[in-house]
Amino acid sequence: MRPFPYKSVLTLLLTGTLAMGTVHLAFADDDDDDDDDERGRERSGLFESRQTPAPVVNATYSQECGSCHMAYQPGLLPPQAWAQIMTPEALANHYGDDASLSEELRTEISTFLGADASDVSLQMVPSGAGNAGGASALPRITDSVDFKREHDEIPARLVTGNPEVGSFSQCNACHRKAAEGNYDERWIDIPGHGPWKD
Amino acid sequence: MKRHLTTVLPSILLGAGTLILPATLWAADPAAGAAGWTKEYPQADGSAPRSCVTCHGRDLTRPGRQANTGKVIEPMAPSVNPQRLTDPAKIEKWLTRNCRWTLGRECTADEKADFIAYIKTQ
């Protein structure tokens, strides 16, 4: 393990805002005080942004979505993106797969993902998603500005060319605590390569 | 056997008025389910042909692998995975999804019953 001198605490605080640029996005969901949403949003200041995306806490979401892929934290996409993804039509062609849900489950998961929320001011803005129909037009976490900024220096051979990873959408292949919402650099371990330092 | 029953029994059952049994009780055919499991369906979008094997594998006592995401799918065989076939809602959900994705259409009641009958024997 790498040494962890005291000064690295400060370093982490400073680099955190860069390295963890995406994590503030989950803040509305990271607040234990569920009935005080506004306070949660106000707390998402610069330094608190080091907090990690809220762990996935909805069992239905974990089961239904997590059975095929990592259950991405709600904060990784803005509510209107989740709303797009969670329409019955979009679920029937879910990035090339059929992820249809019963209306009951669809409603529960949509609510958990914040797809019915309207305040998007603190959320990540996707880019590159076209307006054309079809699965390719669905929002993608990997298309977001924040995601691209964090991953633009990673050689493709370590991800798409790495059979143990395969795709940038397999967060937990390299971010060993991604499922817990922890994308901290210290937990990066790229299969066949090892840690990654910016 | 099954095809014979499906043509003869309905008239008997319907003739008996309210005595209508669920199709799965007398129509399910593990052999047909086994054949359906490996049958490959060409895909309209040009992607590789798919079958149940694409994600679940041929040996139902072994784990499968989701073709798109690579996520491990627990074995389908109840003999090694007793959780399988215990939740009707789950069975219906996955048969709906996976038939659409693999066959390009929803499965008929007969086809679903055959798949379940086959999985049960594994």
pLDDT digits (tens, 9 = 90+) for A172-197: 999 999 988 999 999 999 999 999 88
The three-state DSSP-derived secondary structure of chain A is CCCCCCHHHHHHHHHHHHHCCCHHHHHHHHCCCCCCHHHHHHCCCCCHHHCCCCCCCCHHHHHHHHCCCCCCCHHHCCHHHHHHHCCHHHHHCECCECCCCCHHHHHHHHHHHCCCCCCCCCCCCECCCCCCCCHHHCCCHHHEHHHHHHHCCCCHHHCCCCCCCCCCCCHHHHECEHHHCECCHHHECECCCECCCC
Best of B43, B73, B94, B101 to mutate (most A CBs within 10 Å, chain A): B101
Residue A126 has pLDDT above 80, yes or no: no
**pLDDT tens per residue, range B89-106:** 999 999 999 999 999 999
Residue A151 has pLDDT above 80, yes or no: yes
Q: What is the pTM of this model?
A: 0.67
pLDDT the model gives residue B30:
96
Low-confidence ranges of chain B (pLDDT < 50): 1, 5-18, 23-24
Window 83-112 of B: residues touching A by CB (8 A cutoff) are 89, 93, 96-98, 100-101
What ipTM does this complex have? 0.70
Q: For residues B54 and B69, what is the distance between their CA atoms, to the nearest angstrom? A: 12
Tell me if A176 sits within 8 A of A187, measured CB to CB: yes
β-strand partners of A188: A175
Distance from CA of B35 to the nearest CA of A (A): 23
A97 interaction partners in chain B (CB closer than 8 Å): 68, 101
Q: For residues A175 and A23, what is the distance between their CA atoms, to the nearest angstrom? A: 14
